[in-house]
């Protein structure tokens, strides 16, 4: 039995931290932690968790302090743009903690379109991503680096626009700002160091990744069961969203009636159930899937 363990860096607080811990829990892994504890051990697999600031995660992974990390694309991409010899890579896009890096301007300000940013001052915590975006747009603008409260910069008359993370847009609205354009669509990423690890560590990573992929697929999938007459089956199967190959079984005592079982990898809405019913399906059940492994 291996005595080797791997380390995974997670954000210590905030929505990404909660979502990351939730993903591990759905993988059958439990992180016992207290508010002031930065190092935790997972019992179910040989994995240790390091709880750190989000902007430390890319460096921890790239330098080999941790084999893996879960971090927002915004933070990872900014670090990748800033560093000359940054070699950490993306293993999986996890789909949660979605937000966007956007340029926003005052509602009634001088900047009304992207070309108006030429010569403007833009406050941001993401100077490298911003300048990379402006370069692709052939726009020259000044960057004012701020590490917090970026949204107040236009009100203080120290910037004409901001480039910051937007989720709901409520903070922008509260500061009389509107989105002008999106620089980057962001979500949580599972990242790893570029080096090759020992066979034992690589095996742990493979097991963790398989569980994560299974948990994420199960979260977005539903198990659908229904009854249908033989002549209705082709139309009904076409209506099942994201189903590759449903299982079709004859119903006992009915020569021309079948049970259809399918894993649907897309959302099953009420409208979908109504369409199935209209096509001749009956006894339609839609069930959540707790675990899945290919």
H-run or E-run covering 263: strand 257-264
Q: 6-96+188-218: CATH homologous superfamily? A: Periplasmic binding protein-like II (3.40.190.10)
**Nearest C-alpha neighbor of 68 from the set 187, 197, 184, 199:** 197
Residues carrying CATH 3.30.70.120, the chain: 221-288
Rounded CA Rg of the chain = 24
CATH 3.40.190.10 residue spans of the chain = 6-96+188-218, 99-186
Name the pLDDT band for 294 (thresholds 50, 70, 90).
Answer: low
Residue-wise pLDDT for 98-155, tens only, equals 999 999 999 988 888 999 999 999 999 999 999 999 999 999 999 999 988 899 999 9
> Burial of 79 by CB count in 10 Å (0-12 exposed, 13-18 middle, 19+ buried)?
buried
Architecture of domain 99-186: 3-Layer(aba) Sandwich (3.40)
In whole angstroms, give the CA distance from residue 256 to residue 186.
Answer: 50
Residue for token digits 């996890």? 94
Spatial distance between the Cα atoms of 180 and 117, rounded to a whole number of angstroms: 10
The whole-number pLDDT of residue 32 equals 75
pLDDT surpasses 60 at 59:
yes
Please give the pLDDT value at position 192: 96
Query: Tens of pLDDT along 249-273?
Result: 999 888 889 999 998 877 778 888 9
Residues sharing a CB contact under 8 Å with residue 268, sequence separation 6 or more, in sequence order: 222, 224, 241, 286
Q: Is the pTM above the cut of 0.95? A: no
Give 193-219 pLDDT, tens digit per residue. Answer: 988 899 999 999 999 999 999 898 888
* Alpha-carbon span 80 to 89, nearest angstrom: 10
Q: How confident is the model at residue 289 (pLDDT cuts 50, 70, 90)?
A: confident
Q: Per-residue confidence at 48, pLDDT binned at 50, 70, 90? A: very high
User: For residue 272, what is the enclosing H or E element?
Assistant: helix 270-278
Buried b (16+ CB within 10 A) or exposed e, 168-190: eeebbeebebeebeebbebbbbb
pLDDT of residue 17: 92
Residues 150-191 have pLDDT tens digits of 999 999 999 999 999 998 889 899 999 999 999 999 999 999
Q: Which residues pair with 106 in a beta bridge?
A: 177
CATH topology of domain 221-288: Alpha-Beta Plaits (3.30.70)
Which pLDDT tens digit goes with each residue over 223-256? 999 999 999 999 999 998 877 789 999 998 888 8
Check residue 217 and give its pLDDT: 84
Q: What does the mean pLDDT of the chain come to?
A: 91
- Give pLDDT tens digits for 78-101: 999 988 889 999 999 999 999 999
């Amino acid at each position: 039995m291996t005595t080797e363990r791997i380390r995974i860096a997670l954000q210590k607080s905030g929505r990404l931290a909660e979502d990351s811990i939730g993903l591990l829990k759905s993988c059958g892994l439990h992180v016992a932690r207290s508010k002031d504890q930065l190092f935790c051990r997972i019992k179910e697999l040989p994995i240790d968790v390091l709880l750190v600031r989000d902007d430390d995660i890319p460096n921890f992974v790239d330098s080999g302090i941790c084999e893996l990390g879960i971090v927002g694309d915004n933070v990872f991409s900014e670090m990748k743009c800033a560093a000359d010899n940054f070699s950490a890579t993306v293993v999986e896009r996890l789909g949660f903690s979605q937000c966007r890096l956007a340029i926003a301007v005052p509602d009634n300000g001088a900047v009304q379109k992207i070309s108006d940013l030429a010569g403007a001052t833009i406050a941001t915590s993401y100077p490298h991503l911003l300048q990379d975006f402006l370069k692709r747009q052939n726009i020259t603008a000044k960057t004012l680096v701020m590490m917090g409260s970026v949204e107040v910069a236009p009100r203080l008359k120290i910037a004409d626009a901001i480039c910051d993370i937007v989720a709901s847009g409520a903070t922008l609205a509260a500061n009389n700002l509107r989105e002008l354009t999106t620089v980057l669509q962001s979500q949580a990423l599972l990242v790893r160091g570029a080096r090759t690890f020992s066979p034992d560590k690589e095996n742990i990573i493979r097991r963790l990744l398989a569980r994560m992929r299974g948990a994420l697929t199960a979260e977005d999938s539903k198990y659908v069961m229904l009854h249908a007459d033989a002549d209705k089956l082709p139309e009904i199967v076409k209506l099942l969203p994201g189903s590759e190959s449903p299982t079709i079984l004859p119903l006992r005592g009915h020569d021309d009636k079948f049970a259809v079982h399918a894993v649907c990898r897309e959302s099953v809405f009420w409208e979908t159930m109504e369409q199935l019913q209209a096509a001749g399906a009956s006894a339609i059940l839609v069930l959540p899937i707790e675990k899945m492994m290919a």
